[in-house]
Amino acid sequence: MKFAIYQMDVIPANPEANKAKIIDWMETELVQDVDTVVLPEMWNAGYALDQLEEYADKDGRDIVPFLKNLAKQHDKHIIAGSIANKREDGIYNTSYIITKQGELIHQYDKMHLVPMLDEHVFLQAGKEKGKIFELDGMKIGVVICYDLRFPELMRSLALLGAEVIIVVAQWPTSRRVHWHYLQYARAIENQCYIISANSSGECNGTQFAGESYVIEPTGKLVTEGPKEKEATIIAEIDRDIVTQFRKDIPIFKSRVPHLYE
């Protein structure tokens, strides 16, 4: 499976401009040759949290049809990062997965809200258990940014069979060391690919790190995006590497969950 990651400089509080950027990016040459594209976290409105009442999508009503059309038009699966998404009981940070046939096959609301960003003041936390989905026979899970700090969530996706975990993010440069090491740890401990799409822009004085990664289950770096700069990252992944590594070091067979609690 070949991926294009959009390490996007998200424009805060401007969904129309961000949609236009994605339309243009999908036309770029690098993206033409891939099966699947990956977008970053909250790409519609950025981290303008105090303006989300105005700029959040209304339960995906605008953005889901937008993504479905784009997927069909370009014949590509879209792992659509996440968007600020207003429902009756508040605003969620929601990820959507759309197939190249234009079908919405998965959605996930970010379950861990970030205290350092006061997310609990502006956002609702997702209440549903993590699930996985399949694209071209590959089992995939998606998590959103701060979720990366919770090994329990990522392990639960691996136990459901995830061979790839996508991390969509707006992770700040100030904590880029955590961003780096946590992804390696999650790849190695869950013996899965980690594919991340981080933002590279700036919002209210916070600079986002860029440095989107593709890491093999073995901990080998496949490729990495530049620091703090918009970029397209292309990577091909190989399911056999997951299968072989899980045979070589069979940690899932060695687990003793009854001794962990």
Q: Which is nearer to ligand LYUYDEPV, 74 or 180 (CB)?
A: 180
Q: Give the residue, chosen from 58, 120, 129, 175, that forms a contact with ligand LYUYDEPV under the rule CB under 6 A.
A: 175
Output the smallest distance, CB 148 to ligand LYUYDEPV, in A. 7
- Give min distance, CB of 171 to ligand LYUYDEPV, in A: 5
Sole binder of ligand LYUYDEPV in the list 12, 81, 172, 210 (CB under 6 A): 172
Closest CA relative to residue 126, chosen from 153, 100, 102: 153
Phi, psi (rounded to 5 degrees) for 200 = -120, 5
Least separation in angstroms between CB 103 and ligand LYUYDEPV? 28
DSSP bridge pairs for 231: 7
**Parallel, antiparallel, or unpaired: how do β-strands 138-144 and 133-135 relate?**
antiparallel
CB 176 within 8 A of CB 138: no
| Least Å from the CB of residue 249 to ligand LYUYDEPV | 28
Pick between residue 41 and residue 57 the one whose CB is nearest to ligand LYUYDEPV: 41
- Cα angle, residue 163 at apex, residues 140 and 253 outer, rounded to 5°: 135
Apex 63 CA angle, 87 and 120, nearest 5 = 40
CA distances from 121 to 86, 91, 113, 114 (A): 14, 10, 10, 10
For Cα atoms 159, 67, 228, give the angle at the middle one, nearest 5 degrees: 75
Q: Least separation, in Å, of the C-beta of 113 and ligand LYUYDEPV?
A: 8
Query: Which SS3 state, helix, strand or coil, does residue 21 take?
Result: helix
Residue 210, SS3 per DSSP: strand
Nearest-CB residue to ligand LYUYDEPV?
A: 145
What is the CA 216 to chain-centroid distance, rounded?
A: 16
d(CA 222, CA 237): 9
Among 5, 140, 145, 233, binds ligand LYUYDEPV (CB under 6 A): 145
Residue 71 vs 117, nearer CB to ligand LYUYDEPV: 117
Which residues are catalytically annotated?
41, 110, 145
Q: Tell me how many residues contact ligand LYUYDEPV (CB under 6 A).
A: 10
146 binds ligand LYUYDEPV (CB under 6 A): yes
107/183 with CB nearer ligand LYUYDEPV = 183
Stretch near ligand LYUYDEPV under the rule CB under 6 A, chosen from 21-29, 66-74, 171-179, 243-251: 171-179
Enumerate binding residues for ligand LYUYDEPV (CB under 6 A). 41, 114, 145-146, 149, 170-172, 175, 178
